[in-house]
Structure 1
């Protein structure tokens, strides 16, 4: 005998999507780094923590990066690499940031790579229970391209 799904349960299931969540940078976990006024020494410490990825942080501290309607699209996003346009934009931004922080663009690129490789797909209802807020739901593109979260 087949089990039937009540309409209210079906509606709840339809609302579940998937977030690709990424581990935090050490600077996001350091309360000192969230202050608006830092000494030069504190700022340098926070700058160096920006390229330290905390892989063993509790999931509640991870950040939702993209939203997907199904797990297979989320997993595909996790395995994908950046487009040449995305890579170019990031390298320019890291170059500018490097001038301010003294941290090489390669260190930023390596940190991003570690974050992406460690990413996990998590159901939105579990994410909400952990207090993780994510980007607004979006439809998966039909042309094979990727959509990024906010």
Structure 2
């Protein structure tokens, strides 16, 4: 690996992104360029991004949302679908530019 290649790899990071939500609907049909970053943080490694995702969506939070009567079955389904769509994506992924 030459120095330029190493420098380019050092600039690559990872974003945690999620589809936009309109009332009652997860818009995972939209291109990734229209998805939203979760937070302002970017991650140096994919594993760091995935660790943050695991922190945000874990079995305890899922169970809490499932059993909360204020959320209801429909709200839980939207939450669950949204969280299943959240993903880590490289900052240089060409789908972000489209």
**Could you state the TM-score of these two structures normalised by the residue count of structure 1?**
0.45
Is residue 106 from structure 1 mapped to residue 79 from structure 2 by the alignment? no
d(CA) in 2 for partners of 1:20, 1:64: 6
| Paired position in structure 2 for 1:11 | 7
**Residue 25 (structure 1) aligns with:** 21
Matched, 1:58 2:31: yes
Larger strand percent: 2
- Partner Cα distance (1:15, 1:6) in 2: 15
RMSD between superposed Cα atoms in Å: 3.1
Higher RCO (CA-CA < 8 Å; seq separation 6+): 2
Could you tell me how far apart the structure 1 residues matched to 2:56 and 2:14 are?
A: 19
Residues 22, 118 of structure 1: 8 Å contact kept: yes
Q: How many residues align?
A: 85
| Larger Cα-atom Rg | 1
Give, in whole Å, the separation in 2 of the partners of 1:64 and 1:7: 31
When normalised by structure 2's length, the TM-score is: 0.65
Residues 52 and 58 of structure 1: CA distance in aligned 2, closer, same or farther (over 3 Å): same
User: What is residue 74 of structure 1 aligned with on the other side?
Assistant: 49
